[in-house]
Amino acid sequence: MALIIFDFDGVLADTLDDMLNFAQAVCTELGFDRIPTPADLDALETMSFVEYGKQLGVPPPLANEFASRCLQRFIEKPYPPKIFAGMVQVVEQLSARHVIAIVTGNTTRAVENFLHENNIHQFVSAVFAVDQPGSKVEKIQKAKNQLAPDNDVVYYVGDAVSDIHAAKQASVKSVAVGWGHQGLGKLLNAQPDHIVHTPREIIELFEKGVG
């Protein structure tokens, strides 16, 4: 049995359009004429809403406000983002033999709304979100301590170079996905332990008993 920790945005949830649209709306509110593009997300060394704001030219003193307003839009959205095709099956199937958790830069409420909308909440043991204290590394370690106390192998599945770095710093295995917010070349340069190109490959990876 393993502990498999998923990132949310770009791994489970297809939030690209929301991230672009919400960021543009908030930039306008804050008085900045900036149209975000996918390249802005791909350029990030740390995938967070604060760093996203800075990438868009929001001054550092306003970056936290930018992040807060974007995250609030995810909470207030009348319906959750779509789940990537095949990820319902991934979560359900893996949960039969492994423990599933989420560590994310989005909010607890947004993630829980998404899980309930897609009827997969019962397969996820815990959510460690941006509104909880600690860095991503600390949250991965917290999940490991709480959910893998018997030294089970732990994996973090993410779509950004900062996810790969966080996994390494937390001493867990990294799995990079090829359908998220950052390009395949950028992910490969960060040297993940494993890389998958489709959701089905996640299931195949764990069926092989990966190391």
Q: What is the pLDDT of residues 136-171, one digit of tens each?
A: 999 999 999 999 977 779 999 999 999 999 999 999
SS3 82: strand
Query: Taking the model in full, what pTM does it have?
Result: 0.94
| Contacts with 9 (C-beta within 8 Å, 6 or more apart), sequence order | 15, 19, 47, 104, 105, 106, 159, 180, 181
Q: Given phi > 0 = left and psi -120 to 50 = alpha, else beta, which region is 57?
A: left
| Span 50-87, pLDDT tens digits | 999 999 999 999 999 999 999 999 999 999 999 999 99
Place of tokens 């960060």: 190
Q: Across 44-158, where does the E strand assignment appear?
A: 82-83, 99-103, 126-128, 153-158
Q: For all residues of the chain together, what is the average pLDDT? A: 95
